[in-house]
Amino acid sequence: MFPVYWIVVTSLHTNAELLQLPPKWFPLHPNFASYLEILKSSVFLTFYKNTLIVASGATIVCIFVSIFAGYALSRFKFKGANLLTLLFLSAQMFPTVTLVIGLYSQYQALHLLNTHFVLILASTSTSLPFSIMLMRTFFNGISRELEEAAEIDGASRFKTLFTVIVPLSKPGIMAIAIYTFLIAWDDFLFGLTLVSDIGKRTLSPGLSLTYLGEYSANWSGATAAAAAATIPLLIVFMFLQRYMVEGLTAGGVKE
């Protein structure tokens, strides 16, 4: 927790105080000027709004695709199913930086660069393989007799999926929702590479390019913006972490 503590302490000092030796480990006279500055900054609020749009969009898309893909891999036996599962697993082995060039070329050909949609797609592609495999594991642990009983009562497969299977998989859905939201919120590489319009940038690349320059750095402003962007997320995660832990552990044994 020390890095988090040091970010907050740094944000409460002026840039001149940060250069003093020995460093001040505790702000005796906290300075909130940096926080007031970012709250008045329309650029920071734009970054925050863009990040919220991208993270929420990626979460919704990932949940929707993971449910259908995980259910298909769990319930349907078709040629190439094992190979497809292996491909999903292998997608997690490649570092994100190795995928950027290929994704950039594809998105450029589709004229998707400098849009929120391209960041939603990129963030979804990062979290989707793990999410699909987790939902597949959850569906494997749900008794098929429940589906057969619903079919006897006249329910279609889609109705059975959303009225019987999905409610029983809420821990897994909550886990992939938190996982995807955190990945999209913290994304730096895709936001820096796929978007050059400052009005469409998200928090991580936006703050880096705004407060940190080649010849000078506004460390107080940068850490204040980082704290303002991170603390609300930490608070939300503190209340939802039990759902993520429950989803990951339950999915880990239901195979």
More confident residue, 227 or 191: 191
The pLDDT value recorded for residue 219 is: 77
Nearest to 193 by CA among 96, 109, 125: 96
Q: What are φ and ψ of residue 251, in 5° steps? A: -70, -25
Q: Would you state the pLDDT for residue 247? A: 59
Task: For the chain, list the domains and their CATH numbers.
Answer: 43-253 (1.10.3720.10)
Write the DSSP symbol of residue 212. B
What residue type is assigned to position 166 of the chain?
Answer: V
- Tokens 């979460």, residue? 59
CA distance 181 to 93: 20
Q: For the segment 203-230, what is each residue's pLDDT rounded down to a tens digit? A: 888 888 877 765 557 777 778 888 888 8
Distance (Å, whole) CA 224 – CA 4: 11
Asked if 9 and 219 touch (Cβ cutoff 8 Å), the reply is: no
* CA dihedral sign of residues 190, 196, 200, 201: positive
Residue tagged 């880990």 (tokens): 252
Residue 66 confidence (pLDDT): 92
β partners of residue 217: 212
- Measured CA to CA, the distance from residue 95 to residue 116 in angstroms comes to 22
pLDDT of residue 214: 56
User: What was the pLDDT predicted at 255?
Assistant: 45
Residues 27-49, mean pLDDT to the nearest whole number: 82
